[in-house]
Amino acid sequence: MWRIRRALWDALLTFKFRQAKPMVIPAPADDRPIIAVPFTAQFPRIPVAGVVVADHVPRDEAQTLALWFCRFQAWLGRVFSPMGHGLPGVDPDARLALVAAYGSAKRRCYPAPRRPEEFDKGVDLGAVAVASPYAAYLERGAADTFSWDLSSLDGFECHAGVRPPAAQVEFALDESAEAVRAVRIDSDLGVSRPGDADWDAATRLALCAVTTHLSLVRHFNWLHLVAGGPLAIATRNRLPVSHPLRRFLQPHTFATESSNLMVTVVQMDAAGDFTDVFSYTHQGMCRLFEATSNDFDLRAIHPRHDAERRGVAGRLRAPALANRLSLATVIEDHVRRYLGIYYDSDDLLGEDPHLARWLDDLARYIPGGVRELAGDPPTRQGLVDLLTTIVYLVTVEHEIVGSGVWNYQMWSDVQPTRVYGDGRRLPVDVYQRAVNANFNLNVRRTPLMSDFSPLALDANGAAAFRQFLEDLRKLQAELDAEPGACWRMEPRMLKANINA
């Protein structure tokens, strides 16, 4: 029966991947206002309080067939689950486990994951902390100590036999190498140090914790629900179709509501990806989303502001941070150039009632960072920071926390999505669903490196969009001349928005 289930779901998800096509983003269109309603009003089967979503999908965003397919997928997950019962663990050789779960049909759609160098000869947590999708988790403490603090993941109901995916990792600074090394891990295993018999097990649990937070909290709860949905609601409701900022944001907000609806029913349902892949029961996952929704702050998304907040700016050799800053700089140049066309003074910002209402709505629904970035009253520099952060969130950050884990989360020997108390390996059905879910994160979507000049209000705005595309191409050419890396983000990888 497991073979039948696996074959059916492999065929279904491969078909879904092949049918996904990049959207052609249209000019903004008028529609009735969107009302922000409690999450449970739209998703009564998923009891999460404290989050708001759109009450309807705008007409120009409607993807009827795709939504029907996602609802069918969610229904099928309840009546013919891809999960088995009492199945064995994956092959101890992680490469063979991947071959078994990621067959030739999928490989023809998308290349198999690459194994990061940091995973090859025992996990180097210090290297992972500065060059991986998890590079935003390292924080500086007193006396040049650094840490990952993932203790907030504790206290939520887990599946039977699964350890809570919570950990605190302490790193020591090696000043001569401008690097850090892990020296202590506090977890459900107790206190572990390098050389201890349980150090490797503690390392796996720490990586399980950081990938759990990245996937559930940072990616889905924060980017999709807490920030992405309200951003799209405020932009549609408060900025007229002829407003320059509505045109600027159109590539980055279009179809957010339809996409969030589709991915929520597939991933957050009781029989969805999140419950079957990660450590938490459905109840535990829902309580986690509630507990972390108000922790979001937009300033944690902007790589420069975030590095300063975490105390890592200028202290370490941080390859991932340097990469993220290079992308943020191109985005910031684009924002500054575009805003300069329509706002040549701070006074003009204060005279724009649509902008004021848009900022009010953002600050009302996004827990933190909107006023702090934009200024109160807003300034041109503040608006540059805010819009840079927004564009970075939906393009770079979303790629890091989504497709960016493809080369990391698939290596079950070092980065399991669950850790069992008795030491058994990840069951084949759990691993298979993790592979399938990540496979579908890589569907083709509208590239950021597209010409969005037809969306502009006028010739000057169109020229600004074209210059942005040219700057992205220039940065891509520079990166092409450098050695590749599993953690690196490149313009050609980026999508224009967070849509599925």
Rounded to whole angstroms, how far apart are CA atoms 418 and 235? Answer: 38
* pTM for the full predicted model: 0.97
Q: What pLDDT score does 177 carry? A: 76
Residue 200: how many other CB atoms lie within 10 Å: 14
Q: 166, 156, 409: which is closest to 277 by C-alpha?
A: 409
Q: How confident is the model at residue 478 (pLDDT cuts 50, 70, 90)?
A: very high
Task: Give the HSE-up count for residue 429: Cα atoms under 13 Å, Cβ half-sphere.
Answer: 18
pLDDT tens readout for residues 436-469: 999 999 999 999 999 999 999 999 999 999 999 9
Residue type at position 8? L
Distance (Å) of CA 135 to CA 63, 82, 227, 314: 35, 33, 21, 14
Q: Residue 333: pLDDT above 80?
A: yes
In terms of pLDDT, which residue wins out, 297 or 85? Answer: 297
The CA distance from 204 to 281, in Å, is: 20
Instruction: Please work out, in degrees rounded to the nearest 5, the angle formed at the alpha carbon of residue 456 by the alpha carbons of 59 and 403.
Output: 65
When pLDDT is averaged across residues 379-392 and rounded to a whole number, the result is: 97
Quote the DSSP letter at residue 37.
E
Q: What is the pLDDT of residues 50-104, one digit of tens each?
A: 999 999 999 999 888 989 999 999 999 999 999 998 999 999 999 999 999 999 9
Which H helix or E strand runs over 301?
none
State both tokens at 153.
């993941």
Which residues contact residue 171 at a Cβ distance below 8 angstroms, ignoring those fewer than 6 apart? 125, 126, 129, 138, 145, 146, 147, 148, 180, 181, 182, 183
Q: Are 15 and 218 within 8 A, CB to CB?
A: no
In 10 A of CB 93, how many CB atoms? Answer: 10
Contacts by 381-387 with C-beta closer than 8 Å and gap 24+? 383/339, 383/343, 383/349, 384/332, 384/335, 384/336, 384/339, 385/302, 385/305, 386/298, 387/245, 387/248, 387/335, 387/339
Which residue, chain included where needed, has tokens 């609806």? 261
pLDDT tops 90 at residue 266:
yes
Q: Is the pLDDT assigned to residue 391 strictly greater than 80?
A: yes
Give dist(CA 425, CA 87) in Å, integer: 11
Q: What percent of the chain has pLDDT over 70?
A: 100
Write the pLDDT tens digit of every residue in 108-127: 999 999 999 999 888 999 99
How many alpha carbons lie under 13 Å from residue 347 in its C-beta half-sphere?
0
Distance CA 301, CA 389 (A): 6
Q: 404 has which bridge partners? A: none
Residues 403-419 as b or e (16 or more Cβ within 10 Å = b): bbbbbbbbbbbbbbbbb
**177-203 confidence digits (pLDDT tens):** 789 999 999 999 999 999 999 999 999
Tens-digit pLDDT profile for residues 414-426? 999 999 999 999 9
CA distance 277 to 91: 17
CATH architecture assignment, domain 2-113+210-493: Up-down Bundle (1.20)
Q: Give tens-digit pLDDT for 125-179.
A: 999 999 999 999 999 998 889 999 999 999 999 999 999 999 999 999 987 778 9
Q: Are strands 167-174 and 145-149 parallel, antiparallel or unpaired?
A: antiparallel
Note the pLDDT of residue 63. 87
Please state, rounded to an integer, the average pLDDT across all residues of the chain: 95
Residue 315 pLDDT more than 90?
Answer: no
Q: How far apart are CA 134 and CA 320, in angstroms?
A: 9
Checking if the pLDDT of 1 tops 90, the result is no
At 250 the pLDDT is 97
d(CA 387, CA 455): 17
Domain boundaries for CATH 1.20.245.10 within the chain: 2-113+210-493
pLDDT at 500: 62
Query: pLDDT value at position 143?
Result: 81
Say which amino acid occupies 113.
Answer: P
